[in-house]
C-alpha cells in the first residue's frame, strides 16, 4: 500500500474541493454556443458535421465555461424549426450557422439576433449581412486562381486544358473566374468548359465526352474533388496517357491522400474546407471566454495543399 502522509492528503482533498467549487461557479455562468448546420447530405456537409462535433468536444474540454450544442437539419424548413427550438430551450449567447439557403434563413436568424445573440455565419451569407457579427467564408476566386497559377507554371504556359463546372452558383462562377482570369494571361488554350453539377457520376460522363472530342488534353481542372474522382476514373478507363495533370479543389480526404503519396497526376489540391465551421466555433469561443474581439469578416485563403503541408489539411477520421 502506498503511504501518504496526512498533510499531503489534506492538500489533495483541499485542491479537489477547490476544483469542485470552481466548476460549480463556472457552471452557473456557462456561455451557450449553438451550432446549426445542414445534415450530412453529401461529402462536404458530412465534413461539416464531423468538424462541428469535434469542435464541440475540443472547446468544451478546453473551456469549462462554454457549452456547445450542435444541431443538424435535413432541409431549410427543418433548420428554421431547429433555430426556433434552440432559442426557445435556452438563452443563446451565440449562434454559429451554415444556412441551407440565404433566403429562407435570413429572417429566422434575425429573430435570434433580436434577443442579443452573437451571430456567426459560415460559408453561405445571409441576404442581409448587417445581421451577422462574424462572417467566415472561403475564397473561391483564390481556389481557381491558385490552381491556375500552379498549373500554368508546370505546363510552361503552353498546352490544352478542359474544365468542369459545378452547379450554377456564385461559388462556381467565382472559381471559374479565378481560373480563367489567370489562364488568359498565358498561351494555354481552354478547350471546353461544361457543367457536371459537382457530381462524381456526371463528371465521369462529361470527361468521357471530352476524351472522345479532344485527341490531345494536357490537363484537366475538375474544380472540385468529388468531380475529380469521376474524371480520374474516366481517364483510367480510356487508357489515355498524355494527360499530365488532373486537379480538383476542396481538400477532400481521398485527394489529400494522393497529394501525400506524391501522386504524379494529382500532386496538389486547394482547400475549401468543411472545417471552416470549426474555425467559426473556435473564434466565437475566443469572444466569449476571453473577450477577444471576433466581430468582423474572416476570408480564408486557398493556399496550395502540397506533399509538404498536406498533414495540416488531413483529418483521417473525417468522412471528407
Which residues contact a copy of itself by CB under 8 A? 1-2, 4, 6, 9-10, 12-13, 16, 51, 54-55, 58, 62-63, 133, 139, 271, 273, 275-276, 278-279, 281-283, 285-286, 289-301, 303, 312-313, 315
Characterize 24-51 residue by residue with b for buried, 16 or more Cβ atoms within 10 angstroms of its Cβ, and e for exposed: eeeeeebbbbbbbbbbbeebbbbbbbbb
Closer of 230 and 273 to a copy of itself (Cβ): 273
Q: How far is the CB of 113 from a copy of itself (least distance, A)?
A: 13
Nearer to a copy of itself, 159 or 273 (CB): 273
Q: Which is nearer to a copy of itself, 55 or 246 (CB)?
A: 55
SS3 category, 293: coil
| Three-state DSSP class for residue 227 | helix
Q: How far is the CB of 114 from a copy of itself (least distance, A)?
A: 13
CB of 160 to a copy of itself, least distance (A): 30
Nearer to a copy of itself, 190 or 260 (CB): 260
Q: How many CB atoms lie within 10 A of CB 95?
A: 26
Nearer to a copy of itself, 179 or 315 (CB): 315
Residue 190, H or E segment: strand 187-195
Residue 62: CB atoms within 10 Å: 11
If one counts every other C-beta atom within 10 angstroms of the C-beta of residue 218, the result is 19
CB of 293 to a copy of itself, least distance (A): 5
- To a copy of itself, the closest distance from the beta carbon of 260 in angstroms equals 15
| CA 178/CA 141 separation, integer angstroms | 4
Q: How far is the CB of 7 from a copy of itself (least distance, A)?
A: 12
Please give the helix or strand (H or E) that residue 43 lies within, else none: helix 43-62
Q: Which is nearer to a copy of itself, 230 or 271 (CB)?
A: 271
Distance CA 274, CA 25 (A): 35
Identify the residue whose cell numbers are 489539411: 313
Amino acid at each position: 500500500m502506498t503511504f501518504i502522509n496526512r498533510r499531503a492528503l489534506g492538500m489533495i482533498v483541499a485542491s479537489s474541493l477547490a476544483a469542485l467549487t470552481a466548476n460549480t461557479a463556472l457552471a452557473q455562468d456557462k456561455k451557450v454556443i449553438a451550432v446549426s448546420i445542414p445534415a450530412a447530405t453529401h461529402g462536404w456537409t458530412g465534413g461539416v458535421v464531423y468538424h462541428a462535433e469535434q469542435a464541440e468536444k475540443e472547446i468544451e474540454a478546453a473551456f469549462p465555461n462554454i457549452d456547445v450544442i450542435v444541431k443538424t437539419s435535413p432541409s431549410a424548413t427543418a433548420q428554421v424549426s431547429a433555430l426556433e427550438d434552440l432559442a426557445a430551450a435556452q438563452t443563446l449567447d451565440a449562434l454559429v450557422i451554415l444556412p441551407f439557403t440565404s433566403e429562407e434563413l435570413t429572417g429566422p436568424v434575425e429573430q435570434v439576433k433580436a434577443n442579443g445573440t452573437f451571430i456567426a455565419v459560415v460559408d453561405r451569407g445571409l441576404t442581409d449581412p448587417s445581421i451577422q457579427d462574424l462572417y467566415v467564408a472561403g475564397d473561391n476566386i483564390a481556389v481557381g486562381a491558385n490552381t491556375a497559377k500552379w498549373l500554368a507554371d508546370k505546363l510552361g504556359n503552353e498546352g490544352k486544358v478542359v474544365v468542369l463546372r459545378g452547379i450554377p452558383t456564385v461559388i462556381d462562377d467565382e472559381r471559374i473566374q479565378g481560373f480563367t482570369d489567370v489562364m488568359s494571361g498565358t498561351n494555354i488554350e481552354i478547350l471546353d468548359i461544361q457543367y457536371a453539377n459537382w457530381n462524381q457520376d456526371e463528371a465521369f460522363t462529361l470527361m468521357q465526352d471530352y476524351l472522345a472530342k479532344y485527341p490531345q488534353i494536357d490537363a484537366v481542372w475538375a474544380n472540385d474533388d468529388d468531380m475529380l474522382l469521376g474524371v480520374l476514373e474516366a481517364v483510367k478507363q480510356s487508357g489515355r496517357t498524355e494527360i499530365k495533370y488532373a486537379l480538383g479543389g476542396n481538400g477532400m480526404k481521398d485527394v489529400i491522400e494522393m497529394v501525400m503519396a506524391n501522386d504524379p497526376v494529382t500532386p496538389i489540391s486547394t482547400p475549401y474546407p468543411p472545417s471552416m465551421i470549426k474555425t467559426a466555433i473556435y473564434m466565437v469561443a475566443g469572444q466569449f471566454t476571453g473577450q477577444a474581439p471576433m466581430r468582423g469578416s474572416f476570408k480564408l485563403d486557398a493556399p496550395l495543399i502540397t506533399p509538404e503541408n498536406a498533414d495540416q489539411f488531413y483529418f483521417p477520421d473525417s468522412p471528407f
